Amino acid sequence: MSAISFSKVSRVYPSDGREFVALDSIDLEVADKEFVALVGPSGCGKTTLLRMAAGLDFPTSGSVKVGGQEVMGPGPERAVVFQQFALLPWKTVRQNIAFGLNCMGVSAAKQAPVVERYISLMGLTGHENAYPHQLSGGMQQRVAIARSYSIDPAVLLMDEPFGALDAQTRIVMQEELVRLSRVNPRTVLFITHSVEEAVYLADRVVVMSRHPGRIKEIIDVTKLRSEEQWADLPIEAVMELPSFTHLRAEISRMLKHVKANSPSPI
Ligand SMILES: Nc1ncnc2c1ncn2[C@@H]1O[C@H](COP(=O)(O)OP(=O)(O)OP(=O)(O)O)[C@@H](O)[C@H]1O
Ligand SMILES: [Mg+2]
């Protein structure tokens, strides 16, 4: 059984008295513990697809299932990390990270070591008692990521989670995500505009096209990753491998083709 299953999913929005097809008959099965990255031009429906898995939006037709169950709304087994930092401004870093655990009814004694672990992992030590407005954008996103990891969800839904981070922090986070996926594998649907990030992180990269949003290609990276043992190499070394640069170029070409053949929303 797939962890996430999109079956003939279409999403139509009303637009100026007409119908706008944001997603057109999407079929995608994400296996349990699989890491799938979505790439595609702006407006191709990546966020819409992720929001449907999160239970924040619903298909006009077709079906979205998580763990074999039709998605009816949000649930604690699915954590979402959005592009914008969704922190509670009146709570500190520590309280924000503990928020999900609180909602799940985890006792303060059990929360503490988990929260401390993620404060340390995300490089937030010394900022535990700061409020979101006292943090940089990158730090706020690290708090949001720590909060979603800490509840140990079966499914992680991430919409450009590293988009706002500086290059150096982004690399640290990418390596951290790979390390976490190794010790604690989970199902991830991950949206990014960085082909490099998609190839480095994902088992499969889904290339989408727009107007209407469709799946163009699905590229399997697992064989390459295991053959060349990327997980044992530093990220910089992986990104310099000829096989990596070749695949990155190939997907970039696909995206260029997709963009050239679909009208821009602007
Ligand atoms: N609530 C809505 N009402 C009307 N149209 C919408 C709504 N949500 C999304 N759309 C449209 O659906 C299309 C897909 O939007 P979506 O946000 O999923 O794209 P995206 O691939 O995530 O883009 P980006 O890379 O810019 O984040 C867009 O053309 C958008 O304008
Ligand atoms: Mg989006």
Which ligand sits nearest to residue 38's alpha carbon? 1
DSSP 3-state assignment of 107?
Answer: coil
* Closest Cα to atom 12 of ligand 1: 22
CATH homologous superfamily of 1-77+159-266: P-loop containing nucleotide triphosphate hydrolases (3.40.50.300)
Q: Which residues line ligand 1 (CB under 6 A)?
A: 13, 22, 40, 42-48, 265
Q: What is the pLDDT of residue 184?
A: 75
The amino acid at 184:
N
* pLDDT (tens digit per residue) in 58-73: 999 999 999 999 999 9
Distance (Å, whole) CA 27 – CA 7: 5
Q: How many angstroms does the Cα of residue 49 sit away from the middle of ligand 1?
A: 10
**Angle between helix 167-183 and 137-150 (nearest 10):** 10
Per the omega criterion (within 30 degrees of 0), is the bond before 185 cis?
no
Span 84-105, mean pLDDT? 90
Token match 């505009």: residue? 193
Check: CB of residue 6 under 8 Å from CB of residue 36. Answer: no
Averaged over 227-239, what is the pLDDT?
90
- Per-residue pLDDT at 186 exceeds 90: no
Ligand 1 atom 8: residue of nearest CA: 48
> Mean pLDDT across the stretch 100-123?
90
**Distance, CA 11 to ligand 1 centroid (Å)?**
10
Res. 263: pLDDT tops 80: no
Is 247 a residue whose pLDDT tops 70? yes
Q: Domain map of the chain by residue range?
A: 1-77+159-266, 88-152
What residues contact residue 2 under an 8 Å CB cut-off, 6+ apart? 29, 30, 31, 32, 65, 68
Highest averaged pLDDT of the listed ranges 147-151, 153-157, 161-165: 153-157
Query: What is the number of residues in the chain?
Result: 266
| Model pLDDT for residues 164-178, shown as the tens digit of each residue | 788 888 888 888 788
Q: What is the mean pLDDT of the chain?
A: 91
Residue 17 or 51, more confident: 51
| CA–CA gap between residue 21 and residue 62 (Å, rounded) | 14
What confidence score (pLDDT) does residue 138 get? 79
- Residue 169: what pLDDT? 80
For residue 206, the CA-to-ligand 2 centroid distance in Å is 14
The yes-or-no verdict on residue 94 having pLDDT over 90 is yes
**Block residue for tokens 């994400």:** 30
Tokens read off for 38? 């979505």
Return d(Cα 46, Cα 214) in angstroms, integer: 10
Residue reference for tokens 């999913």? 9
Strand order in the sheet with 155-159: 78-81, 155-159, 187-191, 35-39, 204-209, 214-220
pLDDT at 85: 65
Dist. CA 60 → ligand 1 center (Å): 14
Instruction: Identify the pLDDT of residue 264.
Output: 64
Query: Is the pLDDT score of 240 beyond 90?
Result: yes
Tell me the backbone φ, ψ of residue 50, rounded to 5 degrees: -65, -40
